[in-house]
Amino acid sequence: MDSGQILLSYIKVWVILLLLSATFQNSKLAAKNTAQDKKRKLAAENSGFISIDCGAEEDYLDGDTGITYKTDKDFISTGKNKVVAPEHNLTTLYYGNMANSLRTFPEGKRNCYTLKPRQGKNQNYYVRAFFYYGNYDSKNQTQIKFDLYIGVNHWTTVVDMQWTYYEIIHYSVTDTIYVCLVNTGFGVPFINGLDLRFMNDSPYRSMNGSLIPKVLADLGGLDPTLGAMRYKDDVYDRIWRLDVNLNDSVSNSTEANIDIQGSDDPCRLPVEVLRTAVQPRNGHNSLSYSYTLRHRENFTPEFLVFFHFAEIEQIAPGERREFTITLNGLNYGPFTLEYLKPLTIGPYKLQVPEDQVRFSIDATLRSDLPPILNAFEIFKLWPLPDSPTNQTDVDAIMAIKEAYKIDRVDWQGDPCLPLTTWTGLLCNDDNPPRIISLNLSSSQLSGNIAVSLLNLTAIKSLDLSNNELTGTVLEAFAQLPHLTILDLSGNKLTGAIPHSLKEKSNSRQLQLSLDGNLDLCKMDTCEKKKRSFPVLVIAFVISVSVLLLLNIITIFWRLKIGRLNVSLSSLVGLSRKELSLKSKNQPFTYTELVSITNNFQTIIGEGGFGKVYLGNLKDGRQVAVKLLSQSSRQGYKEFLAEKIAQIC
């Protein structure tokens, strides 16, 4: 032995695996991140946005709006991509890119987009669907009509074949939001674009149903032919109408900044919307407007109305602008405004039996100036009478669909609603509905019986006959309280028939069919045979393991003195809890360490105890090898303390 080796033999070496590879990957990522900063910023701004250009061939960043549009790919699997006829190509600013491709649904009664916003359920979302026929099918149709559903409830009927969009502020009780196009027999449904925007804790929230925007008016604003007011002016990407005219009004505007930050206006109106306003023509003291519903409903509709103001004129000292609001005959006010400070009045909720919303804004008698109005919004309250299918059932049927890779055109959207159920399913009329029957007979199912079936706790009839199912019959079927028909015939099931199922079948509570499973053991004896075998095997395995372990410990104890005390802690994780769960010490010989560290080639750190080397295990993992220097007694304590801390 040369002196170096002798010296080293006095050194206690501990190897601690620190998941170095993860650290390296992180630093690589960091570099990439700097490069992608710009992209990330944009993504952050758009978080809460889902923007789909239906029928598009690839994702793109829209130059006009700064919104990244995605193809349908991740949102729907049915339908066909089309483009509008060249002579109908739209070039409208802010929409042009999205308008000219679309997706049509010649097959199936109901086709659904699946939207999964990051913010999940019990949140408010602004959802908008765009339609433009553009003679894409060269049939020059004008009479197409189809229904649009949000979740399981009717949203609207699409009738306008010109460029148009429908909006809804939807309070979702589910994590997944379906937007379904329903063929009602008046032509093939299609869609050009679909947007979803998370609306946070907004005042646009009805406790009972959703809100359908009827008028979002930016008064005194831009020339409507110049484009639209939407994202990025509007954080929610609402589209403000610029073409709403009040009787006998004139526009005015300011270049000054409206303090929307300081005002914590929950409606989050764009500055550009508030900078412009209308006031009555010279000599008049009143602004008025009326909105008439186009389609009568079979219930008395309710509306929400918001008025938005900001004083854009610097009023001479001693003068005042004061006004009242009259809405469908009810008076509110008087109100005054502060210079450049936003003020939202409302929302006022009103029943509208005559299908009309009318308001006027009038100067009070002591007002020196006429009234103004910067913007207003009218929403129709939209009841959502139907609840989606019980979430437990939905999760179960989705898991079953996934487990057996069931690929049926109509297995999309909610399983029970609207209008039809998925083929093979029956649901009850409860609100929320439950799945009461599942028939997957002759559906080429293979593999084991999916345990998710047990989560369909309302099921009465389950038919899995004539498939290729293998494995055993689940005993837990006996625990489904309502199950009266269980057909598993014509499969390749093995093992014994569970006792409890047999009992239920014998007592006529369950109609059980197991015919045609050739390897299924129908005798009472097979259960017992099966059980005794594994018990023996386990007992044998355990005793052998204990013997082996004792041997290893003895050998180890003898070898310990005079050998390097080398230990590897395989720390697979960074939290203390995980460490204590997963750490295990493994001794290494000095020669092995030489090989692991490639003869202590790369120093990656130095602590109070000595040097730290980079090592590579045979399985490719990177490790840090800490060598404790004999000269450092202080370091030894530190080293041990650190090690204990890391392992405990």
Ligand X SMILES: *[C@@H]1O[C@H](CO)[C@@H](O)[C@H](O)[C@H]1NC(C)=O
Nearest Cα to Cα of residue 307 among 329, 277, 340: 277
The smaller minimum CB distance to ligand X, of residues 439 and 500, is found at: 439
- Cβ pair 618, 628 in contact under 8 A: no
Q: Is 618 annotated as a binding residue?
A: no
Interacting residues with ligand X between 64 and 123 (CB under 6 A)? 86, 89, 96-97, 100
Is residue 252 involved in binding ligand X (CB under 6 A)? yes
Q: How far is the CB of 455 from ligand X (least distance, A)?
A: 4
- CA–chain centroid gap for 474, Å, is 33
Least spacing, CB of residue 43 vs ligand X, in Å: 24
Q: Using alpha carbons only, what angle is made at residue 624 by residues 619 and 627, rounded to the nearest 5 degrees?
A: 125
CB of 414 to ligand X, least distance (A): 13
In terms of residues, how long is the chain?
Answer: 648
- Are residues 583 and 570 in contact, defined by beta-carbon separation less than 8 angstroms? yes
Min dist. Cβ of residue 246 to ligand X (A): 8
Binding segment (CB under 6 A) for ligand X, from list 6-14, 62-70, 175-183, 392-400: 392-400
Size of the site for ligand X (CB under 6 A): 34
The reply on whether position 543 binds ligand X by CB under 6 A is no
Q: What's the angle, vertex CA 500, arms to CA 495 and CA 506, rounded to 5?
A: 105
Among 441, 470, 494, 646, the residue binding ligand X under the rule CB under 6 A is 441
116: its two tokens: 């999964």
162 contributes a contact to ligand X by CB under 6 A? no
Phi/psi at 396 (5° precision): -65, -45
List the one residue from 396, 459, 483, 496 that touches ligand X (CB under 6 A): 396
**How far is the CA of 313 from the CAs of 21, 172, 340, in angstroms?**
63, 41, 8
Q: In which order are the strands placed within the sheet that holds 603-607?
A: 585-586, 566-570, 13-17, 622-627, 610-616, 603-607
- Kindly identify the residues of this chain, within the stretch 564-623, that bind ligand X according to CB under 6 A: none
Other CB atoms within a 10 A radius of the CB of residue 430 amount to 13
Write down the least CB distance from residue 99 to ligand X, Å.
Answer: 7
**Is residue 290 within the footprint of ligand X (CB under 6 A)?**
yes
**Contact region with ligand X (CB under 6 A), list: 17-25, 149-157, 449-457, 472-480:** 449-457
What end-to-end distance do the CA atoms of the chain give, in Å?
37
**CB-based contacts of 132: which residues, under 8 Å, 6+ apart?**
84, 90, 99, 100, 102, 161, 162, 163, 164, 192
Q: Measured between alpha carbons, how far is 320 from 360 in angstroms, rounded to an integer? A: 19
The residue among 399 and 572 lying less far from ligand X, judged by its C-beta, is 399
Site string for ligand X, 308-337 (x = CB under 6 A): ----xx------------------------
Q: In angstroms, what is the minimal distance from the CB of 321 to ligand X? A: 11
Residue from 245, 247, 551, 634 in contact with ligand X (CB under 6 A): 247
Nearer to ligand X, 445 or 564 (CB): 445
Nearer to ligand X, 462 or 596 (CB): 462
254-283 mask for ligand X (x: CB under 6 A)? x-----------------------------
Report 185-214 residues binding ligand X (CB under 6 A): 208
Contacts of 282 (CB under 8 A, 6+ apart): 250
The residues, ordered by sequence, that sit 6+ positions from 393 with a Cβ below 8 Å of its Cβ are 415, 434, 435, 455, 456, 458
Evaluate whether 221 touches 228 at the Cβ level (below 8 Å). Answer: no
Task: Lay out the site mask for ligand X across 478-517 (x = CB under 6 A, - = otherwise).
Answer: -------x-x------------------------------
Binding residues for ATP: 626
Binding site for ligand X (CB under 6 A): 86, 89, 96-97, 100, 140, 142, 208, 247, 250, 252, 254, 288, 290, 299, 312-313, 358, 383, 390, 392, 396, 399, 432, 439, 441, 451-452, 455, 457, 461, 463, 485, 487
Annotated binding site: 626
